[in-house]
Structure 1
Amino acid sequence: MLMELGWVWSSGLRLQLVMLTLMVCFSLLCGFGSLCVIRRAAGARPRVVSLASCVSAGVFLSSCLLELLPDYQNHSRDTFSRLGLALHFPLAEFLLAMGFLLVLVLEQMLLALREPADEVSVEKQALIEEAGRPLQRSRGPAGLRVFLLELSVCVCALLQGLSVQWDLQECVPLLLHEGLMAFALSARLSHCGLRPALVSAGLLLFSLARPAGIGIGFGFGMSVSAQVQLMRCALEGLTAGIFIHVSIGGLLWQDSASPKHRVHEVALLLTGFALGTAILFTKV
């Protein structure tokens, strides 16, 4: 009897290792494959990078509104009920708002520190306006947004991996979701003009995040203390708020070179949103 249980355990562990390895490889393939295609196409048509970034914005928006928010609300509700906490204050929404406002405060502080160095004189501004060229102002610290996007995507993937109940029927939706998110992250990092080494490091970290979370959850199981559950809920709320700010900011800060491209950008954004929604339907 013990030998049979040991064989079942070892076979299940072997199957999980195979699926986790397949998830990492598929995510890396989608990320680096899309990166190569985007950069090769951008050599002939520079607008390709911006249009691919519109698709990624739609993917992030669908993941944020249709997956991240419901999962966080359900997980926080289950955590509070499991711990016997009857709250009369919307603590889960408060943590979400704190993550959102944290990014806003950091951006405004960096802009306030940078504006004196980038301040344009009145005479120069008048000459630029007389020449018919609009004054281009920075829309925020792009480096901070890229860092927070990478951080929030990786942390969200790690925390979602901890909650995955392993089932072979969910392997295909997980693989599709990982591949689509890797494409979206690759397009967004390429649009920000990062060096190939940084883009590769970001894709590698993201590809390892969810499999690492699944492995940690499988190793520890459900034997976690109340303090760990509360810390995880707080971290998940702050990260979700950061990801919401970065995702929505990607829509608001999306550049349009000319009015004729705006319709194309909106269509591609809706395409990315539809792709993310379709993959979520496969999980039902």
Structure 2
Amino acid sequence: MNQIRMRRFNNTEVCFSLCIGDEGELLMMDSDVSPGLHIKLLTLVLMLCFSLLCGFSPVCVMRRASRFSSDPGSRHRVLSLASCLACGVFLASCLLELLPDYLNHMRDTFSHLRITLHFPLSEFILAMGFLVVFVVEQMLLAFREQTSDAPHEKQALMDSQDRDAAPNRRRRSVSWSDGSPSADDGRSHVGLRVFLLLFCLCVRAFLEGLSAGSRRERVLESCVTLLLYEGLVAFSLAVRLTHHALRRTLLAGALPLFAVACPAGIGTGLALDGATAGPQVQLVRCAVEGLTAGIFINVCVLGSVWQELGSPKHRIHKVAFLLTGFALVTAILFSKV
């Protein structure tokens, strides 16, 4: 079967296909091509590569610096300042993007359903996400205290020399965070906070990619902004994971998982092009956004920011780096206007 194709561009791209069958019949088929499809596909590939590059770059730099540098104090100071920069990025992402988008989606959803709420449902979902982290952490700490009763009893039977050496070993174990007294408590459930941080960022990246994949206006501007924003978040995530001194296998799994989240959202948005989500789907999405926002507030503000700024060393420098990260996200979000 021979095919003759003609393409005409007039605001929207239309493809005409002329098919000549065996009996000489002339058939004409037309199919609409979504505007900006090539830009979205290119963004999908660039997003994956750029996120992996921004994610693994600080990990490789810190690994190489720790190998060639003989001063552990300077490495910890640089890593702490970079972690404050990441905290500023997460704080701005939460306060300037995640919360406003969630509240707007909730308001638009209930306005579309013509439902008037007399109860602060949006704030209640947000509080539930915040309290989930708090309750789970307290349960883990209570379980840890119960399981540590036996070691305390054993320590009471130690001689005086071993008891005097135990506090010194504990002080050396927390020296990695500039002497912060809360660091030892934070490492007892650091795995939970790392998992929740990765979960929130992946969910947010997937939803951002889903919105970008289904967008029909200002495709190029939104894709470029999303590319820069996801690269900055990938860099901040890598810094936070490196700051927690995780194993290489966990880093090698966490960073690609985040890098795939946004392209997966873009691909899903392209696959669902033209399909409208029902009210049930919109309500589920709003609930997920609210719980994610509440979890992110707890993990970011109470976990990362409070831990970093709780150390008495280099307070002014840490505040400056935190404000720098906040300003970077603000500049990227301002470019959307």
TM-score by length of 1: 0.89
**Whole-angstrom distance in 2 between the partners of 1:265 and 1:39:** 22
Runs of 4 or more above 4 Å deviation: 1-4, 119-131, 133-137
**Whole-angstrom distance in 1 between the partners of 2:65 and 2:196:** 27
Report Cα offsets for 1:63-116 as digits up to 9, x if no partner.
Answer: 001111111111111111112221111111111110010000000000000012
Q: Tell me if the contact between 2:7 and 2:15 (Cα under 8 Å) persists in the aligned partners.
A: yes
Partner of 2:289: 236
Structure with more helix by fraction = 1
Q: What one-letter code is carried by the residue in structure 2 that aligns with 1:174?
A: L
Partner of 1:107: 137
Partner of 1:158: 206
Partner of 1:86: 116
**What SS does structure 2 have at the residue aligned with 1:138?**
helix
Q: What one-letter code is carried by the residue in structure 2 that aligns with 1:110?
A: L
1:20 to 44, 52, 57: 44
Partner of 2:246: 194
Partner of 1:277: 330
1:225 to 252, 262, 278: 278
| Distance change (3 Å), C-alpha of 1:118 and 1:263 | farther
**What SS does structure 2 have at the residue aligned with 1:223?**
coil
Q: What one-letter code is carried by the residue in structure 1 that aligns with 2:57?
A: G
Q: Tell me if the contact between 1:24 and 1:211 (Cα under 8 Å) persists in the aligned partners.
A: yes
| Distance change (3 Å), C-alpha of 1:227 and 1:130 | closer
**Whole-angstrom distance in 2 between the partners of 1:84 and 1:59:** 36
Q: What one-letter code is carried by the residue in structure 2 that aligns with 1:188?
A: R
Q: Tell me if the contact between 1:58 and 1:271 (Cα under 8 Å) persists in the aligned partners.
A: yes
Partner of 1:171: 223
**What SS does structure 2 have at the residue aligned with 1:46?**
helix
Partner of 1:6: 15
Structure with more strand by fraction = 2
Q: CA deviation at 1:46?
A: 2.4
1:138 to 157, 173, 185: 185
Q: What one-letter code is carried by the residue in structure 2 that aligns with 1:138?
A: D
Larger radius of gyration: 2
Unaligned runs of 5+ in 2: 9-13, 17-31, 175-180
Q: What one-letter code is carried by the residue in structure 1 that aligns with 2:115?
A: L
Partner of 1:71: 101
Partner of 1:251: 305
Q: Tell me if the contact between 1:103 and 1:242 (Cα under 8 Å) persists in the aligned partners.
A: yes
1:118 to 130, 145, 148: 148
| Distance change (3 Å), C-alpha of 1:234 and 1:128 | same
**Cα RMSD, aligned residues only:** 2.8
Q: Tell me if the contact between 1:156 and 1:240 (Cα under 8 Å) persists in the aligned partners.
A: no
**Whole-angstrom distance in 2 between the partners of 1:154 and 1:84:** 31
Q: Tell me if the contact between 1:39 and 1:49 (Cα under 8 Å) persists in the aligned partners.
A: no
Partner of 2:25: none
Identity %: 54
Number of equivalenced pairs: 283
Q: What one-letter code is carried by the residue in structure 1 that aligns with 2:308?
A: Q
**Whole-angstrom distance in 2 between the partners of 1:6 and 1:127:** 81
Q: Tell me if the contact between 2:309 and 2:318 (Cα under 8 Å) persists in the aligned partners.
A: no
**Whole-angstrom distance in 1 between the partners of 2:249 and 2:101:** 33
Partner of 2:177: none
**What SS does structure 2 have at the residue aligned with 1:89?**
coil
2:64 aligned with 1:46:
no
Q: CA deviation at 1:170?
A: 1.9
2:235 to 179, 183, 186: 183
Partner of 1:36: 60
Q: CA deviation at 1:204?
A: 0.8
Q: CA deviation at 1:263?
A: 2.3
Bigger RCO of structures 1 and 2 (CA < 8 A, at least 6 apart): 1
**What SS does structure 2 have at the residue aligned with 1:6?**
strand
Q: Tell me if the contact between 1:42 and 1:49 (Cα under 8 Å) persists in the aligned partners.
A: no
